[in-house]
């Protein structure tokens, strides 16, 4: 069992518990549920930098990354830096995040917010909407084609943008459908944790131009972005590179100014 399988198994249990605590009606009645969402896909299409900056405290591959920077400061800083959007990790057990982080990011910035989560149930999409997200992440490695279709269509009914993440050709082939806005290629091998930009390059020709192409993981330099832009990538998800510093906001400002 790889780490993703383990996380997803735990997530299914967690979601069932959450359903028992907060009914759907309560999510639908929250103030943010009626808020018009901001399209990250549109922002990326019109941007010259395409940076989606992440808030991440820790991860299974790197353990502690940053436990001190407040979500409030990071979100405001990313917006000042000129990021196109912000990714907020909401998984608690493996990444130290929470839905409250999403709420804080929403209160402190006007950036499109991506709920970075292991989504296995439409209840989590209702949560994303209720807590101020504009975009949801679906991971092809832990969903069937039917699940991707069902969840992405449900997300669209909530006016959420959909970023679908793939790791290889097989996942990409099963995932292509009109209810997606962005296709993210994760350069990290889930079995070995090795990172290679070649994954994004080799899959780029298989992704139709209807979708915004996003490269994820291992983007820690301006060179990496310049290397991937000719392959049609308009979005670059950067997490650890900013978060591993003492001042993620300033790191993002310095990085984006160099592009």
Active site residues: 54, 56, 116, 165, 186, 216-217
- Rounded to 5°, angle at Cα 59 from 135 and 51: 40
Q: Report H helices in the chain.
A: 3-21, 24-28, 40-45, 71-81, 99-108, 122-130, 145-157, 169-175, 198-204, 222-228, 240-243, 248-258
Determine contact, residues 196/218, Cβ cutoff 8 Å.
yes
Query: Of the candidates 247, 235, 230, which has an alpha carbon nearest to the alpha carbon of residue 81?
Result: 247
Q: What phi and psi, each to the nearest 5 degrees, are found at residue 76?
A: -65, -40
Residues 165, 167, 168, 173, Cα dihedral to 10°: -20
């Amino acid at each position: 069992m790889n780490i993703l399988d383990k996380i997803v198994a735990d997530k299914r249990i967690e979601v069932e518990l959450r359903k028992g605590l907060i009914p759907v009606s309560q999510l639908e009645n929250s103030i943010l549920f009626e808020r018009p969402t901001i399209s990250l896909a549109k922002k990326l299409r019109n941007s010259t930098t395409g940076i989606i900056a992440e808030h991440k405290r820790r991860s299974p591959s790197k353990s502690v990354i940053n436990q001190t920077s407040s979500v409030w400061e990071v979100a405001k800083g990313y917006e000042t830096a000129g990021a196109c959007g912000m990714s907020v990790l909401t998984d608690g057990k493996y990444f130290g995040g929470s839905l409250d982080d999403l709420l804080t990011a929403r209160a402190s910035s006007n950036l499109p917010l991506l709920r970075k989560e292991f989504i296995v149930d439409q209840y989590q999409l209702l949560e994303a909407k209720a807590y101020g997200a504009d975009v949801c992440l679906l991971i092809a490695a832990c969903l069937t084609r039917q699940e991707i279709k069902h969840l992405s269509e449900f997300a669209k009914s909530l006016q959420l943008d959909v970023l679908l993440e793939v790791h290889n050709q097989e996942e990409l082939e099963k995932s292509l459908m009109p209810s997606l806005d962005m296709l993210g290629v994760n350069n990290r091998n889930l079995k070995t944790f090795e990172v290679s930009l070649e994954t994004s390059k080799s899959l780029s020709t298989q992704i139709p131009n209807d979708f915004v192409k996003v490269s994820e993981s291992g983007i820690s330099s301006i060179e990496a972005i310049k290397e991937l832009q000719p392959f049609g990538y308009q979005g670059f998800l950067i997490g650890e590179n900013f978060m591993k510093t003492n001042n993620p906001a300033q790191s993002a400002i310095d990085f984006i100014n160099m592009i």
